[in-house]
Amino acid sequence: MSPAPQTKWRLWSHSEIRLAVTAGLALGFTTATGLPFGYYAALAVLAAMGQTYGSSLELGRQRVLGTLLGAALLLLFCRGLAGIPMPLAIALALGLLRLLGGLLRLQVGYKVGGMVLVMGWLVHNTELTSWLPLRLGWTVFGILISLICLRLFWPSSAVQAAWQGWSELFWPLAEALDEPARPAAAIGQLRRRLMGQRAALVAIRDELGGAGTRHPMLKLLAEFDETSSRLISLLQVRPFSPAAAQLHAAEAALLAAFGERLRLWVTLLQPVGARGARGMPAAPPTPFVAPQTWRLLDQQLSSGQLLHVPLDLGGLKRDAARLQLCRQAVAAFERVELHWRQDQGILGTPA
């Protein structure tokens, strides 16, 4: 079983063909309408068509807000600063635009505003009343057509990308759990993948209509995050003391069981990570059960038997932290799968 299909080298990827065809068709349509400045629709397609529907929503929002901000400053300064030399006037307007864009938290939108300002000031200053509404209209049209194409042609959603992304994190994590003595670089790579998944949450929230954290998908993703974080941390904490052979064996069995379970999760996530799939991934058919050796040890620990063994407190203390963290990881696994099964009933399995 492989974690993810290997990507073959292609002359064009689906997303590139989609981008080129959408921009081309947008241009074709705007040309056919006979209205001027239709190329701004294609420029909006190029700028707003992100990798997923969710990321495009945010890019589109920023582009519209940036265009409005640029237009407002253009109207204000193009005539207001007419008395001072153009290089100084346009530079001041651009500086103010950057400042306002920053205050309004427009991460890329201020650049669009800058383009509106520059083009309106230097090229279209005699026709601002017609150019500005047309530019805004074509921009909105370009964004809408991008979003429609992202839904229609090789649909690409942030939610699907997230399922795929998590399965690409779980697979190497399972391998690391099989062989916990991993170099720091490999663990760093796992942590960066986890951070990548966290960064993708913004687009997912946008795609789910600004849903709060109570949305079942977001809840499941948050629990994936917590479980992965715990497992990555387990790879980094100090191992059991060499004398504790029983603990070593039980822990190795537990980590192997975690790895096995993560591989099962990958097989459940991959169908919903595929293009065109919908809904929540199917929950694991049976609940997670820790291996027998671990459960026996856990029972001993819970009944306090281990403390009657003549161990020095310092040595026991060293192992106690790891034991507790392993117990918490078991609880996290059980929790995530329980909620997964409960939420599956709400949103249904993949179509």
Partner 1 sequence: MNPELLRKSLKLTVAAFITAAIAIYFERIEFVWYPLLAVVIVVDDDDEKTVAAARGRILGTITGGLVTFLVHTVLDGWIGVLVSILLMVPVLRMLGWQSGLSTAALVSILFLMIPSHAALNWNYVFNRALDTTVGCAVALVVGLWMWPRNRLTLLARSEADLRGRFADQLSAYRAWCMGQAARPRPLAPAPITAALERMDSWLQLERRGPHRRQLQQLRWPQRLQLWSRWYLCWLQWERLLQELGPGPVLLQSLEALQTPPRRERARSDAAALILCWHQLALQSESPLAVLAVAAELEPLLAYRRSLALLPPLP
User: In 3-state terms, what secondary structure has residue 242?
Assistant: coil
16 binds partner 1 (CB under 8 A): yes
Q: Which one, 115 or 252, has the nearer CB to partner 1?
A: 115
Q: CB under 8 Å to 39, separation ≥6 — which residues?
A: 27, 30, 138
Q: What are phi and psi of 207, to 5 degrees?
A: -65, -30
What's the Cα-to-Cα distance from 13 to each of 17, 26, 70, 162, rounded to whole Å? 6, 20, 34, 19
Interface with partner 1, residue 230, by CB under 8 A: yes
DSSP 314-349: HHHHHHHHHHHHHHHHHHHHHHHHHHHHHHHHHH-S
Q: Could you say which of 76, 88, 274, 346 contacts partner 1 (CB under 8 A)?
A: 88
Least Å distance, CB 47 to partner 1, is 7
Helix axis angle, 53-80 to 109-122, nearest 10°: 40
Six token digits for residue 232: 């990555």
Q: Which stretch binds partner 1 (CB under 8 A): 15-23, 205-213, 269-277, 285-293?
A: 15-23
Residue 104 binding partner 1, by CB under 8 A: no
Query: Interacting stretch for partner 1, rule CB under 8 A, among 151-159, 207-215, 228-236, 339-347?
Result: 228-236
Q: Is 233 in the site for partner 1 (CB under 8 A)?
A: yes
C-alpha 331/C-alpha 335 separation (Å) is 6
Q: Strands (DSSP E) along 195-258, which ranges?
A: none
Q: Check if the beta carbon of residue 340 is closer than 8 Å to that of residue 284.
A: yes
Per-residue mark of binding to partner 1, 307-326 (x: CB under 8 A) = x-----x--xxx-xx-xxx-
Nearer to partner 1 among residue 193 and residue 263 (C-beta): 193
Report how far residue 279's alpha carbon sits from residue 291's, in angstroms, rounded to the nearest whole number. 31
Quote the least distance from Cβ 323 to partner 1, whole Å. Answer: 6
Q: Find, among 148, 143, 313, 337, the residue nearest to 227 by Cα.
A: 337
What span, in angstroms and rounded, lies between the C-alpha atoms of 56 and 156? 10
The CB-of-85 to partner 1 minimum distance in angstroms stands at 8
- Per-position x/- string for 270-309, each x denoting binding to partner 1 as judged by CB under 8 A, each - no binding: -------------------------------x--x-xx--
> If binding is defined by CB under 8 A, does position 28 make contact with partner 1?
yes
Rounded CA separation 299/105 (Å): 53
- 296 by DSSP, 3-state: which? helix
By the rule CB under 8 A, 27 interacts with partner 1: yes
247 binds partner 1 (CB under 8 A): no
Q: Is there binding between residue 346 and partner 1 (CB under 8 A)?
A: no
Residues near partner 1 (CB under 8 A) are 11-12, 16-17, 19-21, 23-25, 27-28, 31, 38-39, 42-43, 46-47, 86-88, 90-92, 94-96, 98-99, 102-103, 111, 114-115, 118-119, 122-123, 191-192, 194-195, 198, 225, 229-230, 233, 236-237, 301, 304, 306-307, 313, 316-318, 320-321, 323-325, 328
